[in-house]
Amino acid sequence: MRETVWISFVFGFVLLFIGCQSQEEIKRQKYITEGKQLYKTYCANCHQPDGTGLANLYPPLNGSDYLVKKDSVICLIRHGQQGPIVVNGQPYNRIMPANPQLSELEIAEIVTYIYNKWGNEKVVTDIKTVRNQLNKCPKP
């Protein structure tokens, strides 16, 4: 009797665990799909659909060493970016426009897409992370 109770407990927890894992995976796939669409609309003109950028005008996202600074990436998507920056040793100095129209969810989806596609991540960047960071962005 005792053993049965114990076994059903363990079994229950295992199921719960698998359930949570797949919920998270469903969310990740959804963010990636939505993020890809948003990227096409708001980013691909300059950074190109494959993220390789355009000559010395628009820096790449694919393989970009700038992606380690995710906090800065979240801020620049919202507020834009100008002034000289260096990506993979190459200098750029053009204007990236701000995106005041994007919601926190949309920024989270774009960031999740970029980092899963080109930043070696297998996780979601959630709305809370984006909101916390947006509150900390330096005034442009």
Q: Which of 35, 36, 60, 112 binds ligand HEC (CB under 6 A)?
A: 60
Q: CA 118 to CA 7: how far, in whole Å?
A: 43
Of 31 and 92, CB closest to ligand HEC: 92
Q: Classify residue 122 by its DSSP letter.
A: -
Helix H or strand E segment including 41: helix 2-42
Instruction: For residue 113, state whether it binds ligand HEC (rule: CB under 6 A).
Output: no
Q: CA 28 to CA 103: how far, in whole Å?
A: 18
- Alpha helices per DSSP H over 43-126: 44-47, 70-79, 104-118
* Shortest reach from residue 112's CB to ligand HEC, in Å: 11
Stretch that binds ligand HEC, among 13-21, 22-30, 73-81, 125-133 (CB under 6 A): 73-81
Q: Which of 12, 49, 63, 97 binds ligand HEC (CB under 6 A)?
A: 97
Q: Which of 31, 32, 36, 47 binds ligand HEC (CB under 6 A)?
A: 47
